[in-house]
Amino acid sequence: MIIFPAIDIKGGKCVRLLKGDFNKVTKYKKSPLDQATEFFHLGFQNIHIVDLDGALEENPINENIIKEISKINKIKIQVGGGVRSLDYIKKLLDFGVDKVIVGTAAIENIKFLKTACDKFNNKIALSIDVRNGYIALSGWEKQTDILAINFIKKLEHTNVSRIIYTDINKDGTKTGPNLKETLNFSNITKIPIVISGGVSSINDVISIKKKNFQNIEGIIVGKAIYDGNINIKELSKII
């Protein structure tokens, strides 16, 4: 199971949100590049990056920062936030990004998702962000009436490489991930699932890793690292 330390970028800084609320932002001292470098030197080869400005503006904003992070030798980063075109996907992949995360554009236009998956084989990850089971879009600002478990049925003939399943009500709360809903979701698709939202302690990660759930490819860890609830050096020992 892959452990993805997370870097959310807003205003050029590392930040974390509480339940996706842009009015509840915590800023951290280290730059995104310095934070990514630290993660890599500790042994993390996979990093999850979100351009929050891009998600809000529906256009890439922090691509220069992402480009610099992607230069770290042998690092694998998955990047999302504001990805709305095939051209930008290609630009990110040309930077050396491992996987590009699409969300709003893919859910609003399934044809775009299928085209992207066909054009960029095994390079497209899908972000499904849910609030009480229903998908939210545009940096979680736009709530839909689309049930995630219904939308997943549309993906049978797409080559999505992985799904990042985020429980918005858990994100940034450090109250533990919503395993029940995530596992229910993972059981109705063959696409590998990455757990996101709510990790509170290293025990959350160890417990999930030991259980070796079928179809769970990884887990994203964010705020608990930045706030010191998880010792990043200890976490690196269980990669």
Model pLDDT for residues 186-203, shown as the tens digit of each residue: 999 999 999 999 999 999
Sequence ranges of the domains in the chain: 2-236
Task: Output the pLDDT for position 129.
Answer: 93
**Which residue among the candidates 8, 51, 167, 171 is catalytic per the annotation?**
8
Residue 138: its H or E element: none
Report yes or no: 100 and 124 within 8 Å, Cβ to Cβ: yes
Token pair of 95 as six digits: 């930077």
Q: Is the pLDDT of residue 62 over 90?
A: yes
Looking at the DSSP bridge assignments, the partners of residue 47 are 77
Q: Residues 129, 167, 171, 204: which is the catalytic one?
A: 129
Catalytic annotation present for 129: yes
146-177 pLDDT per residue, tens: 999 999 988 988 999 999 999 999 988 889 99
Share of the chain above pLDDT 90, in %: 85
Please list the residues that pair with 16 across neighbouring strands.
26
Comparing 23 with 65, the larger pLDDT belongs to 65
Tally DSSP H helices, then E strands, for the chain: 11, 12
pLDDT score, position 160: 97
87 is catalytic: no
pLDDT at residue 140, rounded to an integer: 83
* pLDDT the model gives residue 58: 79
pTM of structure: 0.94
Q: Kindly tell me if the per-residue pLDDT of 80 is higher than 90.
A: yes
- The pLDDT of 197-218, averaged and rounded, is 94
DSSP state for residue 12 in the 8-state scheme: T
Tokens 């990660």, located at residue: 205
pLDDT tier for residue 225 given thresholds of 50, 70 and 90: very high
Domain 2-236 in CATH 3.40.50.720 = no
For the chain, the average pLDDT equals: 94
Query: Does residue 78 carry a pLDDT above 90?
Result: yes
